[in-house]
Amino acid sequence: MFFSLILFLLLFISSLCSDDYPDSIGSAALIPVNTAIQGTITCGGDYDFFRVNLVAGRTYVITMEALNPASPSFDDYLKFYDSSQSEIDHDDDSSGKNAIISQTISSTGVYYIRASGYDGGECGTYVLAVMDTSSCSGSCTSMDFLFMY
């Protein structure tokens, strides 16, 4: 009982001040294809790493949209890595200050995404989506999947 109380307190305290998604590619969180998730870039240089399973021959669009109700959106930034964790693409401002990456995948496997601010001073809430373009009519936007997270 005592130890479970301590554990609860530790979890509670860490949830107040900790980051929502891992800072390192080695412990990246899974994001399913055709799903939009909400996260937060905490101020001071937070990186949020995700891994996603992609299929050869398909084209995927990855979008990161800043959501900041209190002020204009922050300047977000995306990097995209292959299965060997080598960077294959990055984007800063393809849509206003929001980042969009489009890639046709050559081999099936795990790929990695790094969501961040453009620099440590850019922070706020975002929606990240990975979309298989064959499942969208016309151009894919995360609005197609926004209510799935």
Q: Does 48 bind Ca ion (CB under 5 A)?
A: yes
The residue range among 43-51, 53-61, 65-73, 82-90 that interacts with Ca ion, by the rule CB under 5 A, is 43-51
In contact, 75 and 118? CB cutoff 8 Å: yes
119 binds Ca ion (CB under 5 A): no
Q: Which of residues 10-29 bind Ca ion (CB under 5 A)?
A: 19-21, 23
Residue 125 binding Ca ion, by CB under 5 A: no
CA distance 117 to 77: 5
d(CA 149, CA 146) in angstroms, rounded, equals 7
| Contacting range for Ca ion; rule: CB under 5 A; set: 7-15, 54-62, 96-104, 140-148 | 96-104
> CA 45 from chain center: how many Å?
15
Length of the chain: 149
Strand order in the sheet with 87-91: 29-30, 47-54, 109-117, 76-81, 87-91
Is there binding between residue 93 and Ca ion (CB under 5 A)?
Answer: yes
Considering the complex, what minimum distance in angstroms separates the CB of residue 73 from Ca ion?
A: 9
- Number of shown-chain residues binding Ca ion (CB under 5 A): 10
Binding site for Ca ion (CB under 5 A): 19-21, 23, 46, 48, 75, 92-93, 97
